[in-house]
Amino acid sequence: MDGKWWQKVWTPLVRIGRFLRGRVRYRVTTGGLLFLLALIITGSGAFLSGNNLLFLVFSAMLALVLVSGFLGRLVLLGLKLELFLPRHVAARAPTDAQIRILNLKRFTPSFSIELSSRAAPLTGEPPILSSPIYFPVIEGGGSVEVPVQVTFPYRGRHRENLFVLSTRFPFGFLRREVSIPVSRETIVYPAIEAGPGTELLLAGLEGEAATQERGRGQDFYRIRPWEASDGVRMVDWKSTAHTGVLQAREFAREENRTVEIILDRTIPRGAEARFEALVEECAYLIWTLSDRVTPFALVCDGQAQTEVYAALRYLAMVQPVVAKKGAEQPMEPAESTARITLSAWE
C-alpha cells in the first residue's frame, strides 16, 4: 500500500472544508461558550454514568449545534450589496447615500442581518460607514434599501469599499461574518473647509470686486457738477437746491474681476502634508468664489480650469512633485485679474 494514502484522503477533506467554510468567519459568543460548557458537562456525565436520558440530552444539544451552523450559514448565502452615492462627494463630509441588499435566494429569507464597514486590509483605508445597520428580515427574492451616511476620509479615487455582513441567527452561539467588497470607482473631492489663511485671502479679494470709476453701478461714488451728457435721471436735486447749481450723482462701476488661483505642484521633500493643506485651501477658495458668482481660473502646470466641478475633480487627483525649488513666478496678471498663489515653498 502506498505510504501516502493518508494524503489522498486528507486533501479532499480539506477541500470540502474550505468549500463549506468559504469566506465566512466564525466568532464564538458568550452564550456559545456557556452552551459549550454545558455540552461538555452533559457529555461527560452521560459517558461516565451511562444514563440514557443524559445521552438523549447530549445528542439533542449536538444536533442543536449542527442546525445552528447550517441555518446561520444559509442566511448569509446569496446576499448581494449595492452602494449608491451622489455625483459629487467631498472628503471628511458626511454624505447621504443609499445601500441596497438583495437576497438572491428565491424562496429562503435571511434573518437578523447586520451590515457594517471595515478598513481595507491591504491599503488600510478607514471604513466609510460609521455605525452598523440592522435588518430584521430580507425576504427571499426581495431587496431592502435604506438611507445611510458615509464619510470618505481623504480625497482621490476610491475603487473598492469593504463591507461586512454578520448574523447570530438562530440561537446566538456563533457570530458569522462575511466580507463583501463593493467595486465602485468614486472620485472624492478635497475637503471643503476653511483653513487658517483662506478667510484673509477672501477678505482681500472683496475690495477688488468693484472699481471706483464712473458707471452704472449700485454703490454711491461722488457728487459732481452736472454735464449735458448725464441726463435728467442723474441730477441730485437735494444738492442742486443747496448749491444753486445743477449737481449730478455718480455711482461706482461694478466690474467682476476674474480671480486666478495658481497652485504650485512642486514641493520640497517632506512637505506632503503642507501640499494637502494647500489643495484643501484651494478647493475652499474655488467653492466660495463659485457660490459668490465670481469668475475664477485654477491654473496648475499650464492648465486652467474655470468650471467649479472640473476644478474640484482636478484637485481630487492632483499629486505633488518633489523638486529642489518651486515653480517660476508667472507673468503679472492683467488689470481685470486678481491673483492668488498657493505654494509649499512659502
Q: What is the residue extent of each domain of the chain?
A: 23-189, 211-254, 257-342
Q: How many CB atoms lie within 10 A of CB 96?
A: 11
- Express each pLDDT in 169-197 by its tens digit: 888 888 888 888 887 888 999 998 877 76
Spatial distance between the Cα atoms of 314 and 283, rounded to a whole number of angstroms: 10
Cell of 81: 450589496
Q: 149 has which bridge partners?
A: 96
Phi then psi for residue 296, to 5 deg, are: -145, 165
Q: What percent of the chain clears pLDDT 90, i.e. is strictly above it? A: 18
Sequence-separated (6 or more) residues with CB below 8 Å from residue 312: 88, 90, 189, 190, 283, 286, 287
Q: Could you tell me which of 100, 123, 105 has the C-alpha nearest to residue 182?
A: 100
Q: Residue 304: which pLDDT band, with cuts at 50, 70 and 90?
A: confident
Distance (Å, whole) CA 102 – CA 113: 12
SS (H, E, C) the chain: CCCCHHHHHHHHHHHHHHHHHCCEEEEECHHHHHHHHHHHHHHHHHHHHCCHHHHHHHHHHHHHHHHHHHHHHHHHCCEEEEEECCCCEECCCCEEEEEEEEECCCCCCEEEEEEEECCCCCCCCCCCECCCEEEEEECCCCEEEEEEEECCCCCEEEEEEEEEEEECCCCCCEEEEEEEEEEEEEEEECCCCCCCCHHHHHHHHHCCCEEEEEEEEEEEEEEEECCCCCCHHHECHHHHHHHCCCEEEEEEEECCCEEEEEECCEECCCCHHHHHHHHHHHHHHHHHHHHCCCCEEEEECCEEECCHHHHHHHHHHCCCEECCCCCCCCCCCCCCEEEEEECCCC
Work out the average pLDDT over 278-286.
Answer: 89
CATH class of the domain at 23-189: mainly beta
Over residues 4-33, mean pLDDT: 67
Q: Are 327 and 265 in contact (CB under 8 A)?
A: yes
pTM here is: 0.68
Chain-wide mean pLDDT for the chain? 79
Q: State pLDDT tens for residues 321-333.
A: 887 665 555 545 5
Q: Mean pLDDT across the stretch 313-320? A: 91
Number of other residues whose CB lies within 10 A of the CB of residue 145 = 11
Q: Is the pLDDT of residue 211 over 50?
A: no
Instruction: Report CA torsion sign: 334, 340, 345, 346.
Output: positive
